[in-house]
């Protein structure tokens, strides 16, 4: 029984790995694309609230940042 559970857990982990990697890549791209916008539009916002701030002020940020944030949302 433990072997079956361990095998199922391993298969699940390997199946999720590509999605996680894709999500991480999208996040890194968004960090790069949105760095200047975050510093100007959301200055003083804690890091944990940065994405929410950028999304809330979407009309004030660059199109590259908007596109990168959309890619992060799509990769979830």
- Could you give the CA distance from residue 24 to residue 7 in angstroms, rounded to a whole number? 25
Helix ranges (DSSP H) in 1-76:
2-41, 50-56, 63-75
User: What's the whole-number average pLDDT of the chain?
Assistant: 79
Residue 49 in tokens: 């609230």
Residue count of the chain: 76
* Residue 14 predicted with pLDDT over 80: no
Higher pLDDT residue, 76 or 27? 27
* Residue 74 predicted with pLDDT over 50: yes
Q: Give the pLDDT mean for 29-39.
A: 95
Contacts of 67 (CB under 8 A, 6+ apart): 33
- Could you give the CA distance from residue 53 to residue 73 in angstroms, rounded to a whole number? 14
């Amino acid at each position: 029984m433990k072997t079956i559970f361990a095998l199922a857990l391993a298969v699940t982990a390997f199946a999720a790995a590509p999605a996680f990697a894709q999500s991480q890549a999208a996040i890194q791209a968004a960090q790069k694309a949105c760095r200047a916008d975050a510093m100007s539009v959301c200055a003083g916002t804690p890091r944990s609230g940065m994405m929410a701030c950028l999304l809330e002020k979407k009309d004030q940020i660059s199109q590259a940042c908007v596109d990168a944030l959309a890619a992060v949302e799509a990769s979830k």
